[in-house]
Structure 1
Amino acid sequence: MIMLCEGVANDWSVLHLRTVLGASESTAAFAYGSFAAAMTIGRLLADRVSARFGPAAILRYGAGAAAVGVTAVALSPWVPLALAGWAVFGAGLSGCVPQLFSAAGHAEEGAAGANVSRVAGLGYLGMLAGPAVIGWLTHLVPLDVTFFLPALCCLVAAATAGVLRTPRSATPARPSEVGTTG
């Protein structure tokens, strides 16, 4: 579900700003740019945040923030608010996929490769299917209304984050240990 949301932003963010909010082509391009920049920064920081708060917290609060961001996009009549919403959506999603891949690798001893490949395959299926589902939904409702689907997916991911498996031997790092080596 999380990668479905990423696919929606990849394929529909610019078109949303252009066709729904009437932004110029050059301004509309910032929709994906703000999403991607926020996601990149978030992914660079996700390991440190995960070490401090744990992977379930990353998924729970990240997906929750992403739901808020894409809901702001869906409801916004203003380009600047929509751009901020796309950025919050990207920042929220940024740590979720890496945590899911990590959990898949630790779910079953001796089957890390198979588990990660299954999760990746299903994730990329979602990334490909999400934009197509949004396209189909636009025949039924306006484009901005379709963004409630990724918001719902994010809320489901946030609500089920507690089932995320982590390494059995790992304990959360104390704040003083985060970022230290040795």
Structure 2
Amino acid sequence: MLCEGVANDWSVLHLEDVLGAPAATAAFAYGAFATTMTVGRLLADRVVARTGPVVVVRYGAAAAGAGLAVAALSPWVAPALVGWAVFGLGLSGCVPQLFSAAGHTDEDAAGAHVSRVAGLGYLGMLAGPAVIGPLTHLVPLNLALLLPVALCAAAGVLRVGPPPVTGPASDTPSVGTGAA
């Protein structure tokens, strides 16, 4: 959700300030991100059913990182817009899978686990944009956007732990099930 916050607050400014796009064109950066995020979230359950949640998180984070890298490093508006769109599509399935995994780690404490993940997620959504701002005093905005790229890369290579040992197996896989 940190990466989502960055897109919410910095995508339009990126196109305006870094690439010199007019405000009307720059608005398409967030529009492209939000549209693909919405479409991806609508399709994520089908993809998870076919590939599993670990694949969705791992490859979604990798695609998101690649998309934002293209947006950040592109000297042209059109590829940057495509990059913001890919960033949204890649992130779209990640957060729901993390909520699902939190709810399935311990069925007796599912609510507490989901609320912790949600709280940390919202903290990230607020902190992400706040971290990028001060970074822009040290480096240009497009280079500051490489921080969320690095976080996406880190999420894409996280190792999956063994399944939790709690009661009978659930029909719904979670990120922590060890299925890779």
- Does the pair score TM above 0.5? yes
Matches within 5 A, 1:89-104: 89-104=87-102
Q: Is the 8 A contact 1:42 1:91 kept in 2?
A: yes
1:168 maps to amino acid: A
Q: Is the 8 A contact 1:103 1:165 kept in 2?
A: no
Q: Is the 8 A contact 1:100 1:164 kept in 2?
A: no
Normalising by the residue count of structure 1, what TM-score does the alignment of the two structures yield? 0.89
Give 1:74 shift. Answer: 1.2
Q: Which position in structure 2 is the counterpart of 1:153?
A: 151
Give 1:98 shift. Answer: 0.2
Moved over 4 A (4+): 164-167
Give 1:137 shift. Answer: 0.2
The RMSD of aligned alpha carbons is: 1.7
SS in 2 for 1:99: helix
Q: Which position in structure 1 is the counterpart of 2:34?
A: 36
2:102 maps to amino acid: A
Please give the alpha-carbon distance, in whole angstroms, between the structure 2 residues aligned to 1:164 and 1:140. 41
Matches within 5 A, 1:14-29: 14-29=12-27
Give 1:161 shift. Answer: 5.6
Q: Which runs of 5+ in 2 are unaligned?
A: 174-180
Q: Percent identity?
A: 69
Normalising by the residue count of structure 2, what TM-score does the alignment of the two structures yield? 0.90
Give 1:108 shift. Answer: 1.1
Q: 1:21 to 1:117 in 2, by over 3 A?
A: same
SS in 1 for 2:170: coil
**1:128 corresponds to 2:123:** no
